[in-house]
Amino acid sequence: MVWPESGRYGRVWSPWREMERLQQDMNRLLSRESTPHSTTFPAVNIWASDQDVIVTAEVPGVDVDSLDITVAENILKLTGARKPEELKPAEVSHRQERASGEFTRTFRLPYAVDSGKVDASCDKGILKVRLPRAEADKPKKIAIKSQK
Amino acid sequence: MAEKEMQKREASSPVETERTQARKVFIPRVDICETKDAIVLLADMPGVDEKSIDITLEKNVLTLLGRVEPETYEGYRAAYVEYDAGDYERAFTLSDEIDRDRIDASVKNGVLRLTLPKAEPVKLRKINVKSA
């Protein structure tokens, strides 16, 4: 059975997608204690239209220079690191809730994008990447000729 | 990076103080460390800048409030959602006496850095007792 690719992204409801999500959630729950590096930092939202995709991520305290965005076809990879705050000898830590370290996240976008026209900006700790749809991937209307 | 340490925590809204705006409120994650002469607080508040943050110190209660406008993109549909935008709110009780005039706050890349210098200890006054 073939399900359209767009089904993963909410356009078409698919029971397999729900199953997949459930499986991913379960895997994440079970592997939570054993994996030192989380796969869910930074939290990401993806917005899509027919022309382009906007990916936003919450990356507070992440140096822009350490962020790396790579795009191939419809796969977006986001890597980076957040530097830990180092304590000086005379300093005493009261609370440490903010984590640090390296992160990598990979996403499959709803369609292939033009990697040459990707535009990324980072403001107030929120990364915003705009990825235009590849020309070759845009839907084309096919005129039907009538034969007399 | 342990997952539980990275996700935003949603604040439970206490009954006494309801908000007029139906917007989500999150508890920012903080690091607090104490140096010899100051308390330094770092808070993750993505989406907040120097204009949208309020810091108050009343008596010894420090309150952080950051306002974030939810992001919406006209003509786009949410294809995948992991985080919600909302305000940040958190309050701390400070044990040391703080020098209010020298409090320093800055925001960079969505991280608030607050330096609270400790007040000079009150000088001891010796009272001479005269013999009557």
Q: Give contacts of A28 with chain B, Cβ < 8 Å.
A: 3
A59/B30 CB distance under 8 A? no
A105 and A65 in a common domain: yes
| A:B CB pairs within 8 Å | 145
Same domain, yes or no: A20 and A31: yes
Which ipTM was obtained for this model? 0.76
| Residues A106-125: b if buried by 16+ CB within 10 A, e if exposed | eeebbbbbeeeebeeebebb
Pairwise CA distance, residues B4 & A15, whole Å: 28
pTM for the full model?
Answer: 0.72
Rounded to a whole number, what is the distance in Å from the CA of B66 to chain A's nearest CA? 12
Which helix (H) or strand (E) element contains residue A93?
Answer: strand A92-96
What pLDDT is attached to residue A99? 86
* Residue B52 C-alpha from the chain's centroid: 12
* CB–CB contact A43 B5 (8 Å): no
DSSP run (H or E) holding B80: strand B77-81
Task: List, as ranges, residues 17-76 from A with C-beta within 8 Å of B.
Answer: 28, 32, 36-49, 53-54, 56, 58-64
In a domain, A20, yes or no: yes
List the CATH number of the domain containing B48: 2.60.40.790
**The pLDDT of residue B3:** 56
Please check whether residues A4 and A43 belong to one and the same domain: no
Residue A25 lies in a domain: yes
Q: Which residue of B has its CA nearest to A101?
A: B1
Q: Confirm whether B21 is domain-assigned.
A: no
Instruction: Find the CB nearest A45 among B8, B36, B82.
Output: B82
> How far is A122 from B108, CA to CA, in rounded Å?
11
If asked whether residues A106 and A120 sit together in one domain, one would say yes
Of B7, B33, B76, the CB nearest to A48: B76
Residue A101's H or E segment, with its range, is: strand A101-108
Closest alpha carbon to A123 in A84, A77, A53, A67: A67
Residues A67 and A103 in one domain: yes
Give the total residue count for chain A: 148
From CA A34, how far away is CA A102, in angstroms rounded?
A: 16
Cα distance between residue B12 and residue B71, in whole Å: 22
- Residue B19 has a pLDDT of 73
Please report, for residues A23, A25, A34, the alpha-carbon distance to residue A31 in angstroms, rounded to integers and kept in the order given.
Answer: 12, 10, 5
Residue type, A104: T
The sign of the torsion formed by the CA atoms of A86, B45, B11, B53 equals positive
The residue to which tokens 């009954």 are assigned: B15
Residue A37 to chain B, least CA–CA distance (Å): 4
B128 — pLDDT class (breaks 50, 70, 90): confident
In this prediction, residue B1 carries a pLDDT of 57
Q: pLDDT tens, B31-82?
A: 999 988 889 999 999 999 999 999 999 888 899 999 998 888 889 998 888 8
Mean pLDDT value across residues B123-131: 77
In a domain, A56, yes or no: yes
Looking at residue A44, its pLDDT comes to 92
Show residues of chain A in contact with B4, CB under 8 Å: 32
Domain that holds residue A119: 38-83+99-135
If asked whether residues A112 and A66 sit together in one domain, one would say: yes
Range of the domain at B103: 27-72+79-117
pLDDT tens for chain A, 148 residues long, are: 454 454 445 556 677 778 888 888 877 776 654 444 445 789 999 999 988 999 999 999 999 999 999 998 889 999 999 988 887 888 888 888 888 889 999 999 988 899 889 999 999 999 999 999 988 888 888 888 888 7
Q: Are residues A42 and A103 in the same domain?
A: yes
C-alpha distances out from residue A93 to B30, B36, B44, B85, B94, Å: 11, 12, 17, 29, 14
Q: Do A110 and A59 reside in the same domain of the chain?
A: yes
Does the residue B4 lie in any domain? no
CB contact under 8 A, B109 and A90: no
- The number of distinct structural domains making up chain B is 1
Q: Do A45 and B109 touch (CB under 8 A)?
A: no
Rounded Cα–Cα distance for residues A1 and B102 (Å): 67
Do A42 and A6 share a structural domain?
no
Q: Is A128 within a domain?
A: yes
- Is A72 found in the same domain as A2? no
Q: Which has more pLDDT, A75 or B4? A: A75
